[in-house]
Every structure is written in C-alpha cells, then in structure tokens.
Amino acid sequence: MQSQVVNNHARKRYAEFESAIGTARLALDELIKFSKTLSDKSDTRFQGWQVPTKVEIAAALRKASNDLDALRKHATEYKAELVSRSWRV
C-alpha cells in the first residue's frame, strides 16, 4: 500500500513537471513572436540602463528554447525509466 501511494505521488509530480515545461514553452513562443516586432535601434538607453539589441534578445531566446528542448528530452528519457520501474523514485 505504501509503495502505491509513492507511485501515485511520483506520477502526480511528473505530470506537474510536464505541465510546467509546456507552460514555459508557450511563454517562450509568445516572447519569440514579440521579439520579432522589436525595432532595430541600437545603443538605446532607459534611465541609465543599456537595453539589449534585437540580435542579443533573439540569441537569448534561441538559447532558452534550445535549453527547454533539452530539458524536455531528458524528462522524456527519465519518464521511460520511471515507467520501467513502476514509478518508483
């Protein structure tokens, strides 16, 4: 009985994790769409802070997207391992 409770808890936590990855992907996709509408002005300053250029923003979003894809890939591999062990952590 105890192991079934742990198994259900692991399933629930993994489902929450997958949902969080999906939410992050949606937010990132929206940011990528928004970044395409930015102007190409460089050296723009905002109250003493330097604003990144459109190229810098695109590079950061591309890196974040690649990192999120890698996380999703590793999570899928870990899910296969959990399923093979009957969701025992």
Cβ of 81: how many Cβ atoms within 10 Å?
8
Distance from the first to the final alpha carbon of the chain:
16
Q: What is the pLDDT of residue 88?
A: 76
Question: Does the predicted model carry a pTM greater than 0.75?
Answer: yes
Dihedral (Cα; 63, 64, 67, 73), 10-degree rounding: -120
Contact 11, 83 (CB under 8 A): no
45 forms bridges with which residues in the sheet?
50
pLDDT tens by residue, 2-61 = 567 778 888 999 999 999 999 999 999 999 999 988 877 655 566 777 778 889 999 999
Question: Is the per-residue pLDDT at 1 higher than 60?
Answer: no
DSSP 10-21: HHHHHHHHHHHH
- Separation of alpha carbons 79 and 56, rounded Å: 34
